[in-house]
């Protein structure tokens, strides 16, 4: 072997050994999700199947929850694939297919609007009978006795008269006996995507429900409430739950199906809405009317009631005059019987 050939052979061996000693360059075929901050494109998202499949409004909602709140698209698609359209809910919603009224776009008048004189709210007698009976009053007394410490503490903490906390829970759920039997995710999905008149409102509540479930570690398909999505003893809608529900028993979670948390949350709701402790709610009047008043139509004519700011606060819970008066009268009747039996 010539010296020139030998030199080339040695150089070849040295290059070969150097190549074997160096680390190989690895080109990954799939990106690491942590490197790009999103779910990689190669992960297949299962589509929605069932009644909510191929609905543009549902698709828009899912993408909104994914992009704005970080939900998994696959997780949400799975929830909607399991969801049902509830005809029973549609039958209870008033005029579900009537389009919403267009929002007023004109200029706001600088002249104060004089409110019209009150007109009678009809049907008070039959409405009152649903709540003003011995069963409601006695069960209210028992509820007060069982939760006296929580009611006293809620009243002191939030400066809300305890009889109105009891009155709300009595009218809403018969002191926890009627908290609802409807799957909340199904109810809100039905009202969001199969109605027109209040679809925007219920879609926002569905959004808040999913956020609430995430924050409180609830399984969305296991939560049960009213046909309209109201929850717990106080029947809070999800948006109100997130804003106003409190952990009043200190166990680390907000549970409106627990009487103590429900009492604290109702008191917090009233306090946040402007309740004034030990101030006028409503009082019957006759003759000259020199105050804000309402008229309730009864089987025997009209009842006239002067109402205070606290009556308006109750109406923030439910805007019906009949509802607010039922809470007032039931709360007062329970208080009277409770105090008489102490």
Catalytic residue annotation: 172
Tokens encoding 288: 């000259």
End-to-end CA distance of the chain: 119
Q: In whole angstroms, what is the distance from residue 10 CA to residue 1 CA?
A: 12
Sequence-distant (6+) residues with CB within 8 A of 208 are 237, 238, 239, 241, 242
3-class secondary-structure state, position 247: coil
Tokens encoding 53: 């499949």
Q: Is 301 left (phi over 0), alpha (psi -120 to 50) or beta?
A: left
Q: What angle do helix axes 56-69 and 199-216 make, rounded to 10 degrees?
A: 40
Q: In whole angstroms, what is the distance from residue 301 CA to residue 86 CA?
A: 40
Q: In whole angstroms, what is the distance from residue 85 CA to residue 96 CA?
A: 14
Answer yes or no: are the C-beta atoms of 260 and 213 closer than 8 Å.
no
| Residue-level length of the chain | 342
């Amino acid at each position: 072997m010539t010296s020139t050939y030998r030199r080339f052979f040695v150089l070849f061996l040295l290059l070969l050994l150097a190549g074997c000693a160096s680390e190989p360059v690895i080109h990954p075929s799939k990106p690491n999700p942590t490197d790009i901050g999103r779910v990689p494109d190669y992960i297949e998202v299962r589509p929605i199947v069932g009644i909510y499949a191929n609905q543009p409004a549902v698709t828009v909602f899912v993408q909104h929850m994914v992009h704005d709140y970080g939900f998994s698209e696959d997780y949400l698609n799975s929830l909607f694939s399991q969801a049902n359209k509830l005809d029973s809910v549609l039958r209870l919603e008033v005029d579900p297919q009537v389009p919403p009224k267009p929002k007023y776009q004109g200029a706001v008048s600088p002249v104060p609007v004089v409110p019209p004189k009150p007109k009678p709210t009809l049907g008070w007698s039959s409405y009152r009978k649903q709540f003003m009976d011995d069963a409601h009053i006695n069960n209210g007394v028992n509820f007060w006795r069982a939760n006296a410490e929580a009611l006293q503490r809620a009243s002191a903490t939030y400066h809300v008269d305890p009889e109105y906390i009891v009155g709300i829970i009595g009218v809403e759920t018969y002191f926890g006996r009627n908290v609802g039997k409807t799957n909340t995710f199904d109810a809100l999905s039905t009202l969001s995507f199969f109605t027109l008149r209040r679809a925007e409102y219920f879609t926002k509540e569905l959004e808040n429900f999913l956020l609430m479930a995430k924050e409180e570690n609830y399984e969305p398909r296991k939560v049960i409430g009213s046909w309209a999505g109201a929850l717990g003893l106080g029947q809070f809608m999800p948006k109100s739950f997130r804003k106003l529900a409190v952990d009043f028993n200190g166990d680390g979670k907000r549970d409106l199906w627990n009487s103590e948390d429900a009492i604290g949350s109702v008191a917090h709701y009233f306090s946040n809405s402007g309740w004034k402790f030990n101030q006028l709610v409503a009082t019957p009047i006759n003759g000259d009317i020199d105050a804000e008043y309402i008229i309730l139509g009864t089987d025997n004519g009209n009842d006239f009631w002067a109402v205070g700011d606290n009556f308006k606060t109750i109406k923030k819970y439910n805007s019906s005059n009949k509802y607010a008066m039922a809470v007032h009268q039931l709360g007062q009747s329970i208080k009277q019987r409770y105090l008489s039996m102490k």
